[in-house]
A and B are shown apart, each in its own frame.
Chain A
Amino acid sequence: MRPRSLLFWAGVATMCAWVLVPIWLIAAGAIGGRQGVFLWPKSMLPPEFTFSALAVFLRIEGVGKALWNSVAAAAMTMAFATLLGTPAGYALARFSFRGQNAYRLLILLTRAFPIAILALPLTVAFINWGLYDTTLGVALVHTALALPFAALVTSSLFVGIPRELEEAAWIFGCTRLQAFVKIVLPLALPGIAATGLFAFVISWNEVFAASVLTVRERTLTAYLLTVLSESPLHFRFAGGLVLILPSVVFIFAVRRYLFAMWGIANR
């Protein structure tokens, strides 16, 4: 191996470690037992291996239901954000029209305003609309949070797809919609999938709206929030791990799509 590529791979490995080591430590905290989290000096390996904290977690009443609520809310968020965001992204990418920048600002507003501060009026509205304490309600708020990502990311995706391809399709007699579905969509689909993934992860991790807008129908994050802030440390690590692992697995499951965005270049 040439020294240059050796250096290169060392860099790649360093960056992998930079990401993975903290995750490993949270896992070590979760399985290292009650005392393990307080040792000094600490070692990379936990002093004991016990799954008791994790087991306690998974046995708590209601965790199963909360898990299901989380998955359902995240799946709905993914669907809503993609359906609302993709057309907007296409419009931003393909047309120049008055109010374009106003729209960009509008969707950014949703991220520019701390959601926690909106809790009160939002909760009142949700009670009145019958959405309070429902998974659908949580998904709607999460969609509002994920929409800027969906619109902006899909817009830069469409900007990157040469419009000549579309125009060629029109010449061959396709309608606008057909051209979009047959030509643009297949090219953009991996990116749109990645957008959906963002939405899923945003919803999965969002804790504030989820906890204030629900009472019984808590999502897993909301359910664990109180635990994360007050329980003994090893439980908090276990809670952190329980939250991280599914999204890591999920990202792994859709890595092909992440990767496929990349693949567009090799078309």
Chain B
Amino acid sequence: MQARPAYLPYLLLAPSVLFLAALFLYPLAETILLSVRTAEGFSFDNYRRMAGDLNFASALGNTFLLVGVVVPLQIALALGLAQMLTKITRGREIVLWVWTIPMGVSDLAAGLVWLALLTDRGYVNSALFALGLIDGPTGWLSYETPVTLFVAIVLAEVWRATAIVLVILVAGFGLIPKEYGEAAEIFGATPWQRFTRVTLPLLKPSLQTALILRTVLAFEVFAVVFALGGRNFPVLVSEAYVWQFENQSYAVAAAYAVVVMAISLAATAIYLRVLRVKPEARL
């Protein structure tokens, strides 16, 4: 064994820390200051205004609901897809490519395409009409149909952002030596047992990464929700956006952003604890 200089990890981290300090922490600090500063000094007035706003409660509820439904769906779907990929022998390169295409689709374009699909005179209604299931253009996305609006947003988000989970999990699958599964098979494990006892535990580091990234990103959802839901489905980030750009009240927008950040950090801390991965975990 070579000696491990204690400063080495810090040396490796230093460039990215310095970089983030300049480009991120500094404006972040200014923004947090902005959220607690008022004309009379420091106070939580901006937070009070935020919490007292018409849309705050529904934005908070909607955000949690959306994250709670979308993230598990995406993880399950990506696990399924990654499992399918292990079984494909020919053409998996192409299949993997197709499945990762949405990764290259921007939020704006995704919102546009799902609006075209789901609007009153969209493709989905055209198909339902052709099948004789509806009589004419039917609305799914208005304030009068909150359930279908929510389903539509979930579908669009699952379409748009599952690919990144898939890629992380596929990379994780790739690191599991085949022998483990083969050994389990020899000892008579059923496919389900092999999946839950062998694959899942070995996949934990990748799962943790995927979960954390997706959850944090899901709390940031905004463009697709805005495109499909308009005013009807406020989420925290869309409210921050409205306060900043429509109401031009930067301090309240900053308060919203701080709340979003706090929630994301809490979620991350929980994941890190629950899905603890030993840094020296060996395969």
Q: Give the interface of A toward B (CB within 8 A).
A: 8, 11-12, 15-16, 18-20, 22-23, 25-26, 29, 37-44, 83-85, 87-88, 90-97, 99-101, 103-114, 116-122, 125, 140-141, 143-144, 147-149, 151-153, 155-157, 159-163, 167, 170, 176, 191, 194, 198, 201, 204-205, 207, 221, 225, 228, 236-237, 240-241, 243-244, 247-248, 250-252, 255-256, 258-259, 261-266
Contacts and interface: CB of A to CB of B under 8 A. Distances in A.
Given A15-B81, A198-B164, 8 more contacts: A117-B253, A125-B27, A157-B175, A167-B1, A170-B1, A205-B106, A207-B106, A265-B174
Contacts of B139: none
A159 B277 contact: yes
A241 B205 CA distance: 36
A127 to B, nearest CB: 13
Interface in B118-154: 121-123, 125-126, 129-130, 137
Given A19-B102, A159-B281, A144 B23 contact: yes
B206 A112 contact: no
Q: Is the interface of A mostly helix, strand, loop or mixed?
A: helix
B117 A153 contact: no
A114 B27 CA distance: 12
Nearest to B136: A40
Contact of B213 (A97, A149, A261): A149
Contacts, number: 300
23 contacts: A12-B95, A15-B84, A15-B99, A29-B116, A41-B125, A88-B12, A91-B8, A94-B9, A95-B9, A96-B280, A108-B216, A108-B264, A112-B220, A112-B264, A116-B245, A121-B31, A149-B213, A159-B279, A160-B174, A236-B112, A247-B104, A262-B85, A262-B96
Given A19-B159, A88-B13, A109-B265, A42 B121 contact: yes
Contacts of A176: 2
A110 B20 contact: yes
A69 B268 CA distance: 35
B113 A22 contact: yes
A117 B31 contact: yes
A93 B173 CA distance: 17
A107 to B, nearest CB: 7
Q: Is the interface of B mostly helix, strand, loop or mixed?
A: helix
Given A26-B112, A201-B104, A91 B12 contact: yes
B98 A20 contact: yes
Interface stretch (B48-56, B67-75, B236-244): B236-244
B192 interface: no
Given A159-B205, A176-B2, A152 B159 contact: no
A113 B174 contact: no
Contacts of A12: 84, 88, 95
Nearest to A179: B2
Interface stretch (B38-46, B182-190, B254-262): B254-262
Contact of A22 (B114, B170, B216): B114
